[in-house]
Amino acid sequence: MTTVLSNPLRPALLAAARSPRLQATVTRLRATRSLVDRFVAGDSEPAAVMAVDALLASGRFVSVDYLGEDTTDRAQARATVQSYLSLIQRFSTRHTAGTALEVSLKLSALGQGIDRTLALDNAREICAAAAAAGVWVTVDAEDHTTTDSTLSIVRELRKDFPDLGTVLQAYLRRTEVDCVELSGPRSRIRLCKGAYNEPSSVAFQSTREVSDSYLRCLQVLMNGSGYPMVASHDPEMIEAAETFAAAAGRSSDEFEFQMLYGIRDQEQRRLVDADRHVRVYVPYGEQWYGYFMRRLAERPANLAFFARALVSRT
């Protein structure tokens, strides 16, 4: 399987993910939609819920992300909160086993770049609604400049919501130490490789370095007291997770695999059939551009598919 750093166009695509001019161009292309639909469960809440219901019926769990990031407008941050509250209300009517339903939050979409307290208060409101509905919450990771702020907010929220999860990115050099600190009782850590364009001063650059860091971090989490969430499509990481879990004496209820909506569906189903917990990250909403570009950056096959779609329409 192609890993996160093996696309030579990755730096350019990740830079494009932050370009308003390119966003305006790409989002106008009709050819874009066919590929976006592979990764994004529609623009609207009803479309997302339809995708969620299909995944739940197949025995998988879900983590739903209302797309948006780098919000600089308080009204937009408030609109994002309202979208999550509406989604959680819909979830509250579904009778699912245990923790099958989760929402994922990006703090920058809740106003982190405007004011830390604003993001904290908005996240707290969502966490309270989710707790009342029996829905899990995980705070997502973004680029390294937000890591300290994000983890400080997570620590504060966990005082009232101890099951709050967060994401750590294995390509950051700091992450193994963060895993040691954050793998205590009731912790939930989603470990991913990382999907932003980071400098070598803070992040490993080669595929092998990132994979080795992932393995070290994963072993720390499996040997810890929390609930590891193995976010990877890489067969090496999936096999390692099984090995580390067995060595740590973990049952299949004491960790989970996580994969992205639209990627490796057959592998997701195989793991479910093997009695493993599998959670699918389901993004939806109109602000899909940044997420879409990061998916292109991760897998050259996605970029080739997109290029063929463009050529076929010219």
Burial bucket for residue 312 (CB in 10 Å: 0-12, 13-18, 19+): exposed
Predicted confidence at residue 197, as pLDDT, reads: 84
Predicted confidence at residue 311, as pLDDT, reads: 47
Predicted confidence at residue 301, as pLDDT, reads: 59
Predicted confidence at residue 27, as pLDDT, reads: 63
Chain centroid, CA 278 distance in Å: 13
Q: Report the pLDDT averaged over residues 292-296.
A: 74
Q: Is the pLDDT of residue 108 over 50?
A: yes
- Of 314 and 302, which is predicted with more confidence? 302
Across the chain, mean pLDDT equals: 88
Q: Is the pLDDT of residue 5 over 90?
A: no
pLDDT digits 0-9 by tens, 70-95: 899 999 999 999 999 999 999 988 76
pLDDT digits 0-9 by tens, 141-179: 999 999 999 999 999 999 999 999 999 999 999 999 999
Q: Is the pLDDT of residue 303 over 80?
A: no
Share of the chain above pLDDT 70, in %: 82
Q: Is the pLDDT of residue 290 over 80?
A: no
Q: Report the pLDDT averaged over residues 218-223.
A: 98
The whole-angstrom separation of Cα 39 and Cα 106 is 18
The whole-angstrom separation of Cα 182 and Cα 100 is 23
Predicted confidence at residue 50, as pLDDT, reads: 95
Q: Report the pLDDT averaged over residues 235-260.
A: 97
Q: What residues are annotated to the active site?
A: 140, 190
Least confident of 27-36, 47-56, 79-88, 105-114: 27-36
Q: Report the pLDDT averaged over residues 242-259.
A: 97
Predicted confidence at residue 288, as pLDDT, reads: 76
Predicted confidence at residue 309, as pLDDT, reads: 47
- Among 11, 2, 1, CA closest to 196: 11
Q: Report the pLDDT averaged over residues 233-262.
A: 96
Predicted confidence at residue 10, as pLDDT, reads: 67
How sure is the predictor about 17, in pLDDT bands with cuts at 50, 70 and 90? Answer: low
pTM of the model: 0.87
The whole-angstrom separation of Cα 215 and Cα 232 is 11
How sure is the predictor about 312, in pLDDT bands with cuts at 50, 70 and 90? Answer: very low
Predicted confidence at residue 244, as pLDDT, reads: 98
Q: Is the pLDDT of residue 265 over 80?
A: yes
Half-sphere exposure of 124 (CA within 13 A, CB side): 13
Distances (CA, A) of 35 to 122, 201, 279: 32, 34, 22
Q: Is the pLDDT of residue 11 over 50?
A: yes
Contact 122, 104 (CB under 8 A): no
Which residues, at least 6 apart from 174, have a Cβ–Cβ distance to it below 8 Å?
Answer: 147, 202
Predicted confidence at residue 252, as pLDDT, reads: 95
